[in-house]
Amino acid sequence: MSDFAFNIPKNNFQDWQLELAETLLKNFNIDDHNLVDILHDFQATFGYIDKTLIPLLAKFFNLSNAEVHGVVSFYHDFRSTKPASYVLKICQAESCQAMGSELLTTELKTALDIDFHETNIAADITLEPVYCLGNCSCSPNLMINSQIISRLNSGKLKLILQNLKAAQND
Amino acid sequence: MTKIYLPRETTALSLGVEEVIAAIEKEASDRKITLQIIRNGSRGAAWLEPLLEVEFKGKRIAYGPMTTAQVKSLFEADFLNAGEHELKLGDLAEIVWFKQQQRLTFSRCGDIQSLSIDDYKKHDGFIGLSTALNTDSPNIIKNILDSGLRGRGGAAFPAGIKWQTVANAEADCKYIVCNADEGDSGTFSDRLIMEGDPYSLIEGMIIAGIAVGAELGFIYLRSEYPLSKTILEEALGRAREAGYLGNRIQDSAYNFDIRLHIGAGAYICGEETSLLESLEGKRGQIRFKPPLPAIEGLYGKPTVVNNVITLASVPIILAKGAEYYANFGQGKSLGTMPFQLSGNIKHGGLVEIPFGLTLRELIEDFGGGTFSGKPLGAVQVGGPLGAYFAGDQLDTSLDYESFAAAGGMLGHGGIVVFDDSVDYLKQARFAMEFCAIESCGKCTPCRIGSVRGVEVIDRIRDIQYQEERVEHYELLEDLCDTLEDASLCAMGGLTPMPVRSAVKLHQLLNQENDEPKINLKR
């Protein structure tokens, strides 16, 4: 745990602007990009998929609004609200279960006083479940933004939350 | 200048390899020592990560698992000249855990700098491709058929037959799709090869393209693997620059290029037809079969859909011959399989061995028992849709047929170990819950059945309903039958496998508490 240097970059998303979205959309062409690709790009920029984006995309792809909404809502990755600076994804799958992830999840929820898919605004943390991060031989795993932390335990979790709190003031 | 190796790989990163590197660089500069740090892939020994290797007298001397706190003492112990230290593991080639493996697909992984094409070529890379370029399509396919290579993604369909079908299909355009949506809990072999030896996958895809007459390939990578994405993007760029991708590859008559697509966190997109829908930018709902993707796949064109490991195993088959590969393994399970040990295991990681070892041998000899030190409970093999094994079942031989006969499946080779604190009924419930969360929603048994499954198991557990347990077990069995027989794809069809096996173990464990024994099929 001594190796845990905390330098995970904060999420830094743009505020939603329809005009910006319209400009960004001009960078894409329908031959090289599919709807999922573009959704990824928009989410990387704004942090979530604003509902006013849906008609734009529908027009771009010549689809109905319902079809676009269907795609957005199908995939777990796409959010409908802006996440906090830190998104914590704690693995709920079997390998991590075998190493006590359930207890750690409860600890995390209690410490942050939120459930999955919720944000603790004061702590600037959004909590999400994830089903396997592919680092199963060092379970349990936690992903903070795009950094995975493995061999999670109670002590490590406390330290992470402390570090996140300290980083808030940066 | 001394060369040292430290992985640029997810497990090593999750255990602080970057901090270790920073500490080594600082210590080296303080001591005015120049050294070259080479970023390799992981050799799969997750329990030794971050694993440091020093090139010394033609050998690799290993130290691990590294921590920043040990860096100073390593320099004091003169590790650059193979000095003694408590972290010293010795000559890498002599470490039993590696020595007892048979690495074919993973032969280069960890040895080479992941992104260096030169290094790849020095370690027999692109030999398979040059063989392919100097022969014809029927001969390539014959090699794959004769090698006995079966789909390593889970379904274990003979790769050669799939290729043959696509090659025979008449169409103006065909595609190669690599399934890198490694969603099963307990599996990471795809990730290890993509991060540690990405060119083996690229080479395999090019060969597949030549064999079936496709000029475009897609890698469908799950979004949970950000490092694999970075490495693959870089590798694809370098391969293009070196003339391995693009028009007239290596001055031959063949064109082939690869595009990388990122998934969006849906487990079902590992199912091939759902994956194709997702690649087209749609909801990842499964398609009816037939038509098979080999006839009507991506955008309605004949498509080879193969798992990462299947494709990455192709180069060595072409390079060394089908017979060489088929000499490993047994029965209809030929070649080697990269098994992945995870969960509550002491020595977790990737173990590539020929088919045929028993599950117990793998867990005890390689895995070294449980991480917690408690007795072994159950083992789930083959991902969230695989069966739970315990007791005598652990003596099942690790090959496709033996596992099917024992009521399980090898799947993608993931082995998740639980110690004896495992609650089987809870695991059965989770299997149903997972199916409910990840179901694509197209067919009723999977979409609704899984939700009802969770409810029924809750009632079996609930003290209020103790009198009705027999009925609920019967209901569960009925539900499992429906899921198995009436689901459209393996998601609903195989969910009964972990449910039945875990419930059976639960009943066995609780027989003195009068747990009703309902005739569950497996």
Q: Which two tokens stand for residue B65?
A: 């698992």
Domains assigned to chain A: 18-74 (no CATH), 86-168 (3.40.30.10)
Q: How crowded is residue B251: how many other Cβ atoms within 10 Å of its Cβ? A: 8
Domain carrying residue B457: 424-513
CATH of the domain at B21: 3.40.30.10
**Domain shared by B142 and B71, yes or no:** no
**Domain shared by B286 and B364, yes or no:** no
> Which residue blocks in B362-421 are alpha helix, DSSP H?
400-405
Number of domains in chain B: 4
If pLDDT is split at 50, 70 and 90, which confidence band does A8 have?
A: confident
Return the SS3 of A22.
helix
In this prediction, residue A170 carries a pLDDT of 67
In this prediction, residue B10 carries a pLDDT of 97
Work out the percent of chain A whose per-residue pLDDT is above 90: 89
CATH of the domain at B393: 3.10.20.600
- B66-90 pLDDT, tens digit each: 999 999 999 999 999 999 999 999 9
**Domain shared by B127 and B49, yes or no:** no
**Domain shared by B155 and B274, yes or no:** yes
**Domain shared by B339 and B313, yes or no:** no
In this prediction, residue B240 carries a pLDDT of 98
Q: Which of A34, A134, A146 sits opposite B280 (nearest CB)?
A: A34
Q: Which phi-psi region, left, alpha or beta, contains residue A62 (left: φ > 0; alpha: ψ -120 to 50)?
A: left
| Global ipTM | 0.96
Query: What secondary structure, in 3-state letters, does B1-19 show?
Result: CEEEECCCCHHHHHCCHHH
- B329-355 pLDDT, tens digit each: 999 999 999 999 999 999 999 999 999
**Domain shared by B482 and B391, yes or no:** no
Q: Which of A2, A95, A131 sits opposite B343 (nearest CB)?
A: A95
Q: Is B110 inside a domain boundary?
A: no
Q: Look at residues B326, B354, B381 and tell me which one is the last residue of a structural domain.
A: B326
If pLDDT is split at 50, 70 and 90, which confidence band does A1 have?
A: very low
CA angle in degrees (0–180, nearest 5) for B83-B89-B94: 110
Residue linked to tokens 């970059």? A9
- A47-104 pLDDT, tens digit each: 999 999 999 999 999 999 999 999 999 999 999 999 999 999 999 999 999 999 999 9
C-alpha of B377 from chain center: 23
Q: Look at residues B95, B127, B161 and tell me which one is the last residue of a structural domain.
A: B95
Residue linked to tokens 């391995």? B244
- Which residues in chain B are contacts of A160 at CB distance < 8 A? none
Long-range interactions of B392-396: CB distance < 8 A, separation 24+: B393/B359, B394/B358, B394/B359, B394/B360, B394/B363, B395/B358, B395/B359, B395/B360, B396/B358, B396/B359
CATH of the domain at B436: 1.20.1440.230
Q: Look at residues B419, B448, B475 and tell me which one is the last residue of a structural domain.
A: B419
Residue in chain A closest to B191 (alpha carbons) equals: A134
CB contact under 8 A, B182 and A138: no
**Domain shared by B207 and B158, yes or no:** yes
Distance CA B340, CA B69 (A): 30
pTM greater than 0.90 (yes/no): yes
Residue-level length of chain A: 170
Distance CA A154, CA A162 (A): 12
Task: Give the residue from B24, B185, B269, B285 with the most A CB atoms within 10 Å of its CB, the best one to mutate.
Answer: B185
**Domain shared by B236 and B202, yes or no:** yes
- Write the CB contacts of A39 (distance below 8 Å, at least 6 apart in sequence): A49, A57, A71, A72, A75, A78, B264
Whether residue B50 is preceded by a cis peptide bond, meaning omega within 30 degrees of 0, is: yes
If pLDDT is split at 50, 70 and 90, which confidence band does A168 have?
A: confident
- B169-227 pLDDT, tens digit each: 999 999 999 999 999 999 999 999 999 999 999 999 999 999 999 999 999 999 999 99
